[in-house]
Chain A
Amino acid sequence: MNKVWRVAATEYLNAVRSKAFIIGVLAVPLIMAISIGAQFYAQKKTDVTPRRFAVLDRSGQLYPALAAKVQARTDGLRAGGKSVSVALKGQSLKVDLPPQAEFVVEEFKFSGDDLKAAELQLSERVRRKELFAFVIIGPNVLDPRATNGTEVLYHTQTPTYQDLPAWVENTLSGEIRERRFTAAGVDSKQVRELSRSVTLLRLGLAEQKATGEVVQAKRENRIATLVVPVGGMVLLYLVVMTSAPALLNTVLEEKMQKISEVLLASVAPFELMLGKLLGTVMVSLTLSALYLGSLTWVLWRFEQLSNVPGQLFAWFFLFQVLALLMYGSVFLAIGAACNEIRDAQSLMFPVMMVVMVPYLMFIPVMESPTSPFSRGISLFPPATPMLMFLRLAIPPGPTWWEVVLGVVLTTAFMLGCVWASAKIFRIGILSQGQAPNLTKLVKWVFSK
């Protein structure tokens, strides 16, 4: 056992001292920081050149209102930058909205009925950069029963710019709706009040204490019921899948560099395999401790830690270890059996299909955690670590016997994987020549 620990310690130190690990640990927060920074930078670089547009109002009634709204918008922008506040318990984050370009509107007077000539004339002005866009308001736009001439046409040479057409559409829609109500003799304020949508409050269940006191149902907390279960499961999957497949490369590299034979002169194949497996478990636990530690700090800082049940951390680490030993031993066996990364890839395919099961199945499990399907799939050992964890994280969680059965089945399956992998590892690690196929691997498992 001493040698197992020596191999494990070396594997662990080799991994955590490597640039790849440090980059890997920093990658997620770094990518997030870079993307947030890039967004802020890009916002500052927003082109805020005023967008001048002309309006040909064929209805003859809407231009003054539109011009007034443009002016109001400009005044608002000049009054100061807009911001939104995100309030979490005890903390408030003020986020500045990106700067916006001012709009400048002018009316295009149109006499005669040659609309095509007007369109062409305005188009030429856009091409000459005198205008950014022009708008033609249909003559019957205020008539709700009309079938022709009801559209508002927006012409531009820069169709990717969304602010102006979106603002024109919203503003004209609002204005036209108000005018239609007035024309129909309906009080628009009353319509808004009468058509207000209802608010749906999501709640848990009421409880009765031992004292007989009834405790009211609490409002559902989306952090506790959605973010924690899904986030936890994805993190579990992430830390397992960033560590376990690396075992394949390590063993394959040692085999290709002829290190395996030197090692096997000192340690038994099973000791070597177990040492590597434990080393990887330690690396992965370090990774998850770092990530979970950081997340816990963030949740504590924003007073959201109460949404994460304490025992969930224990389940996280237990299922992480089980998954790593299960998947890791299989990856080790494949690495030992192959001589080239190309051979390993073909054997990896069926394994990856099984490994992907929890990722592919988590949505139906999340939506209905107690359905027969969810219960069944979370007892399928390769999927148990992720899916049982997900079910445990969604209140009220599975029944105790399901959890116990899941852990027992997964442990038994994991031991089976380690045993079979050890048999393959023992033969494969010194094998040369053509890579074995699945049939041959099965033969190796049952060989003496």
Chain B
Amino acid sequence: MPPLLSADLKRPAVRLANVTKTFGSHTAVRDLSLAVPRGCTYGFIGPNGSGKTTTIRTILHIFHPDSGEVEVLGERSTRAANDRIGYLPEERGLYKKMTVRRVLAYYAALKGMDRADAAKASTEWLAKMGLSEWADKKVEALSKGMAQKIQFIAAVIARPELLILDEPFSGLDPVNLEVLRAAILELRATGTTIIFSTHDMAMAEIMCDFIFMIYRGNKVLDGTLADIQRQFGEDTVRVGCGGGAELLRGLPGVEMVRDLGQLQELRHGDPQALLRDLAPRTTVRHFEVCKPSLHDIFIRIAKPDLQEMQVPKTTGGGA
């Protein structure tokens, strides 16, 4: 993580203060406060329907909060900063009948970019993404992966100061994923603030400086990965043993066994006691006490949703 100056932290790229947004009787976001420092990558995580998209749309002033304050790139409660924001929504949308070059020119024009700058930028980005020969083809002729890269170019073509990416890697093959990841890291290196919404916890762990988790409209996590892991203690154990997950699930004190194939990840309040329990029963090949992964933390918080599928809803609020 690059060093963040205190001055930058004082003037965050995005600041939400006690924002609440309701739709009818449903509260999508409740009393949310958040500060996204400039130049960092901020991961937004949370189960489906937890309020991530509402938060993003509020930052973009597509939605107006019922209460609270939204400040983006120094502009308070107006769309004035929107030309400096790039946005890649989760559900991609491109004009199928337009050529790639014209789509990019239109999206750039809507961000206030002049025609010559837009043409130059679109040529550069298409070359970078390996799509130069598709510039004059209609969007409907592109594969899903190509269309996704075009959508990404549309989001970044106007050189935004703040880039909001909602599931940027979904549906991409590993090669295209790496191309896109490299482009995002390059933008971050040049000072672009990136808000990155994802369900891929491993990707969030390696790409984000900060993680924000929203659950049922409430902020439940906000901080660096290390801070968050610290909150959840060192009760995670990775075990490789004969009998695997089946054996481990039967042992006292073992919770949340996750089968990783060669290894199993679990939680136990006293790892030493677990090792003592295991030794007489089976051969232990691997035993590692580690910090909980983001995936594990996510499951711990969002687990009630799965339980609620069987029992009636109890209360709102986060974990």
Residues of A that sit less than 8 Å from B by CB: 2-3, 6-7, 10, 14, 18, 254, 257-268, 430
Contact = CB atoms under 8 A, between A and B. Distances in A.
Interface stretch (B89-97, B190-198, B256-264): B89-97
B85 to A, nearest CB: 7
Contact of B83 (A7, A260, A261, A266): A266
B281 interface: no
Given A6-B109, A6-B110, A264-B62, A257 B89 contact: no
A272 B98 CA distance: 18
A261 B111 contact: no
Given A266-B107, A266-B111, A259 B62 contact: no
Looking at chain A's contact residues, is the secondary structure mostly helix, strand, loop, or mixed?
A: helix
A-B pairs, 3 with minimum CB distance: A259-B93, A258-B93, A266-B110
B89 A261 contact: yes
Contact of B112 (A2, A10, A260): A2
A244 to B, nearest CB: 21
B165 interface: no
Contacts, number: 56
A31 B104 CA distance: 38
A267 B110 contact: yes
Interface in B99-114: 106-107, 109-112
B79 A262 contact: no
Nearest to B60: A265
A259 B150 CA distance: 13
22 contacts: A6-B109, A6-B110, A10-B109, A14-B98, A18-B97, A257-B96, A258-B91, A259-B94, A260-B93, A261-B62, A261-B93, A262-B87, A262-B89, A262-B107, A262-B151, A264-B60, A265-B60, A265-B85, A265-B87, A266-B82, A266-B83, A267-B110
Of listed B60, B89, B107, B110, residue having the most chain A CB within 10 A: B110
B154 interface: yes
Contacts of A258: 89, 91-93
Interface in B61-99: 62, 79, 82-83, 85, 87, 89, 91-98
Contacts of A2: 112
A254 B93 contact: yes
Interface residues of B, number: 25
A262 B111 CA distance: 11
Given A6-B109, A261-B91, A266-B82, 6 more contacts: A18-B97, A257-B96, A259-B94, A262-B154, A265-B62, A265-B87
Interface in B146-163: 151, 154
Contact of A257 (B60, B94, B154): B94
Interface string B163-197: 00000000000000000000000000000000000
Contacts of A430: 57, 62
Nearest to A3: B110
A257 B93 contact: yes
Nearest to A261: B89
Of listed B109, B112, B151, residue having the most chain A CB within 10 A: B109
A389 B62 CA distance: 41
Nearest to A431: B23
A430 B91 CA distance: 12
Contacts of A18: 97
Contacts of A263: 110
Nearest to B79: A268
A6 B95 CA distance: 16
Contacts of A3: 110, 112
Nearest to B164: A265
Nearest to A254: B93
B142 to A, nearest CB: 14
B110 A7 contact: yes
A10 B82 CA distance: 20
A257 B112 CA distance: 24
Contacts of B85: 265
Nearest to A13: B102
Of listed A3, A257, A261, residue having the most chain B CB within 10 A: A261
B84 to A, nearest CB: 11
Contacts of B109: 6, 10
A260 B98 CA distance: 16
A263 B111 CA distance: 10
Contacts of B60: 264-265
A344 to B, nearest CB: 19
A264 B82 CA distance: 10
A258 B148 CA distance: 13
Contacts of B82: 265-266
Nearest to A262: B93
Nearest to B96: A257
B153 to A, nearest CB: 12
Contacts of A268: 79
Nearest to B87: A265
A430 B56 CA distance: 14
B225 to A, nearest CB: 28
A421 B261 CA distance: 57
Contacts of B111: 266
A68 B112 CA distance: 87
Contacts of B92: 258
A20 B85 CA distance: 35
Contacts of B154: 262
A252 B92 CA distance: 15
A265 B60 CA distance: 6
Contacts of B87: 261-262, 265
Contact of B95 (A259, A261, A264): A259
A165 B107 CA distance: 71
Contacts of A265: 60, 62, 82, 85, 87, 89
A7 B151 CA distance: 18
A258 B91 CA distance: 6
